[in-house]
Every structure is written in structure tokens, then in C-alpha cells.
Amino acid sequence: MPVEPAHPVVRPGWGPEKPLSGVTLLLVEDSRFASEAMRLLCLRSGARIRRADTLAAAWRHLRSYRPNGVVVDLGLPDGRGETLIADLAKAQPRIWMILATSGDDGAEDRAMAAGADGFLGKPLVNLSVFQATVLSLLPARPAPAAISAPPGDKVRPDPFAYCDDMKHAASILAGLSGPDDLAYVTQFLGGVARTAKDLPLEKAVSGLARVPRSRAKNSAALLQLTCMVDARIAASGPV
């Protein structure tokens, strides 16, 4: 790639309250709720963040913007995050830090095999875990004492971002055209439900995933999931 990757710079304002000051991240994530959680983690830590919601949008950013690190969700509307991770891992010059994120079983192994430097499991809400993970991967990192957040300190994303995700899912559910749409919306809703700890929705997604793909479009499980999504839109958040 033509643009040299930026070296993480510790700014004059750096301190324990902002241990990631000077760090720039590109988040590749289709969920507004998960993106809001990451934005709050960065805000509390002093890092700057940009977001791309598809693989195509990520590449558009990377043609002109070279962050210190990229955080890639593995399930995206236009492909698998592992593809982007593998391409970034092989690129010269290489971005300093490639992180993967997902709530799916086996996701960490797939991400590391693709070339990720680290993994953040969803839900992305724990501030100390986020800071420790990023600090551990920076080429010249401060001491562990630089972590500002006590264990258990968490961010709370705006429920309206959750509602935006439900609207996105509803539009896909209303126009299902094949197994790819169904696979994507199932993966998407499962990740959002885990991030928001919406256990009833997560169970409904799991129930639909157990239905054979050939029968899923006309199944009671799909109808139940669609009604639950509509209910969350009406409530502007988990119910």
C-alpha cells in the first residue's frame, strides 16, 4: 500500500487517565451498538477512532488513512473479516496492530490463523481489557500500570444504537432472497444480542439457526425472530 503506517505517538497530554492518547484505530464493524461500545472505550482511553461498516468501506478508508491499528469484526455484510485480516497481515508496510472481534464460537482461532495479532471477544464493554489488549500490542508500550480502568469498569452503549441495529435486521428479514441473507442476518443478530445481553433474542436466533436452511424462510422460528425484532424497534431497545 502506498501510505506509510503511522507510528503510535505518545502525546504531551498522555497520562494514566488516557493511556491510549495518540493511538488511532479503524473499526470495521456493521453493528451500530457494538460500534458505539468501541467508540466509548476509545473515548475513555484517549484513542481516536474511525468506522467502516463493510469490507469495501474499510479499503476506501485505508487508501488514504493509515491508523495505528485496525479492529475487524469477522461477520460483515460483504464478506468475512478474516479476508481483510489476511490481506492486512501480508501488506507491506504493515499496520502495527490487527485485532479481530466476534462473539462466535471458534472465532478467535480463525482470526489468529488469518494473521490477527490479538482478539477481543464480544461484548466489547470492559475498559481494562480493551486498554490492556491494545497496550500489549503497541511497539513501544507504556507499563501495565498505565491502564486507567479498574477491573470490571464497563461502558454502556446508547440503546438507540441497538434500535438502529434492529431496524437494519428488520429490513433484511423483510426482503430475504436466499440462504446468504439468512446466514448474514442470523450471524448479525446473534452478535448484537450477545453484545447487549439480550438473552431472549439470542435464544430465538439460536432456534432459527437449528432449522434446516431449506425450511427456514417459512418457519415459525423465523416468524418469532421477526416479531421479536419488531418489538425491540417499538421499545427503542432490548425488551
Same domain, 133 and 72: yes
> What pTM was estimated for this model as a whole?
0.86
Residue 127 has pLDDT above 80, yes or no: yes
Residue 6 has pLDDT above 70, yes or no: no
Decide if 9 contacts 21 (C-beta within 8 A).
no
Same domain, 98 and 186: no
Higher pLDDT, 237 or 165: 165
Please give the residue range of the domain that contains residue 179: 159-235
Per-residue confidence band for 218, with pLDDT thresholds at 50, 70 and 90: confident
Q: Which of 25-34, 134-143, 212-221 has the lowest mean pLDDT?
A: 134-143
Q: Kindly report, residue by residue over 40-60, the tens digit of the pLDDT.
A: 999 999 999 999 999 999 999
Same domain, 86 and 109: yes
Query: Could you identify the residue written with the cell 482511553?
Result: 45
pLDDT recorded at residue 115: 97
In whole angstroms, what is the distance from residue 166 CA to residue 234 CA? 10
Same domain, 125 and 173: no
Same domain, 75 and 178: no
Q: Is residue 31 part of a domain?
A: yes
Q: Is residue 14 part of a domain?
A: no
Write out the H or E segment, with its range, that includes residue 235: helix 220-235
Q: Mean pLDDT for the chain? A: 87
pLDDT above 90 covers a percentage of the chain that reads 63
Same domain, 93 and 178: no
Q: Is residue 182 part of a domain?
A: yes
Q: Is residue 15 part of a domain?
A: no
Same domain, 106 and 180: no
State the CB neighbour count (10 A cutoff) for residue 72.
27
Q: Which of 104, 119, 146 is the last residue of a domain?
A: 146
**Number of domains forming the structure of the chain:** 2
Q: Is residue 85 part of a domain?
A: yes
Q: Which of 173-177, 198-202, 230-234 has the lowest mean pLDDT?
A: 173-177
Q: Which of 136-145, 147-156, 225-234 has the lowest mean pLDDT?
A: 136-145
Q: Is residue 29 part of a domain?
A: yes
Same domain, 108 and 35: yes
18-55 burial by CB neighbour count: b if 16+ within 10 A, else e?
Answer: bbbbbbbbbbbbbbbbbbbbbbbbbebbbbebebbbeb
